[in-house]
Amino acid sequence: MDRIEYQILSLLSMGSASVWKLIDFQDASLPEFFEKLEKLKKEGLIEVEGGRARLTKKGMESVKLEWKNLKCNQCEGTGYLILKEIKEDYEKISQNRPKPIEKYDQGYISIDGVLRRVSFIMERGDLHSEIFVIGDDDLLSIALSLTRIPKKVVAVDIDERLIDFINKIAEEYDLNVEAYIQDLQEENEKFLNRFDVFITDPVETLPGIKLFLSRGVASLKGKGAGYFGLTTLEASRKKWYEIQKMIHEMGFVITDIRRQFNVYPDDGRNFFDFQDKLPIVKKLNARVDYNWYKSAFYRIEAIRKPKPLIKGNVKLGKKIYVDDESWATPM
């Protein structure tokens, strides 16, 4: 029995569970998880029916110790509390956000998740900086600006609806944030060597994340820092290895990885609205009933002059969004 199988059986030792909760609890990518689930079923250790999994008698005998929840329940296991001073305004603003569309593989993290990101960035000493937000489904640029701490926040996104919304809110609340329409496949000199910090939630194909990180790295004016989200669901350990090689090659060290720091909630407006087009939903043949899609939060810091791996204009086409591990991306 390997580590992932042990995780699955450990959770089920407490009783039956949704297959989506199982996904959230374990560390494998979605293709790897599905393979483990099928293996445990074949070995007679678990049963799955109606989207719920349970241990068989044989499975119960294989578990040595019943699992218990050991995470902090005050901070959802993240280690960070939210900034309550800006929550009311951010929550109100977020209610009218543009709805995600599948064309751009959009989806946003929870309100509390965004506010925890701000707490983390502030604690790391990066909130007072000039900040570049690359892709802003989460409206993080607004949350950062509501603190009144950053020197400047600039957000870019390919979605004109988001840009118009951010600029409208900036004017309404007198926020120090500007938003611009930008296709990352095109280099824009306006955003080169201007910022202290970049923040992004990249797509998780290798060509896509290389592009997102390169645009972030190119935006820094010195030995700055970067933040980005990354799942284990659509990025296997092999992919993490390749991504970390990119990070080092561009002149950065990894200072922090906060596991399962961000949750993408099924709140009736998020990307779960087109769940029927997600490969993992088709494979499991079960409707989503649990907030299972979570990502780690990276912080990286330059130790020499940053060097982006992609410069100039590129055309990546569909491969920017989809590869063999993209089981939670609409197809």
Query: What is the SS3 string spanning 277-312?
Result: HCHHHHHHCCCCCCCCCEEEEEEEEECCCCCCCCCC
**SS3 of residue 220 by DSSP:** strand
Q: Cβ of 37: how many Cβ atoms within 10 Å? A: 23
The pLDDT value given to residue 281: 94
Q: Which amino acid is at 28?
A: A
Residue closest to 233 by CA, chosen among 126, 162, 164, 327: 327
Contact 213, 254 (CB under 8 A): no
Task: Round to whole Å and give the CA distance between 325 and 236.
Answer: 8
Task: Round to whole Å and give the CA distance between 105 and 96.
Answer: 20
Contact 152, 128 (CB under 8 A): no
What tokens were used for 53?
């999994």
Q: Which amino acid is at 115?
A: L
Task: Round to whole Å and give the CA distance between 226 and 199.
Answer: 6
Is the alpha carbon torsion for 311, 212, 103, 35 positive or negative? positive
Q: Could you tell me which CATH number the domain at 3-62 has?
A: 1.10.10.10
Q: pTM for the complete prediction?
A: 0.95
Instruction: For CATH 3.40.50.150, list the domain ranges present in the chain.
Output: 84-320
Q: What are phi and psi of 272, to 5 degrees?
A: -65, -15
What residues of the chain score a pLDDT lower than 70?
Answer: 65
The total number of residues written for the chain in this structure? 331
Contact 53, 23 (CB under 8 A): no
Fold of 84-320: Rossmann fold (3.40.50)
**SS3 of residue 226 by DSSP:** strand
Residue closest to 300 by CA, chosen among 240, 239, 242, 257: 257
Q: Cβ of 111: how many Cβ atoms within 10 Å? A: 20
Instruction: For CATH 1.10.10.10, list the domain ranges present in the chain.
Output: 3-62
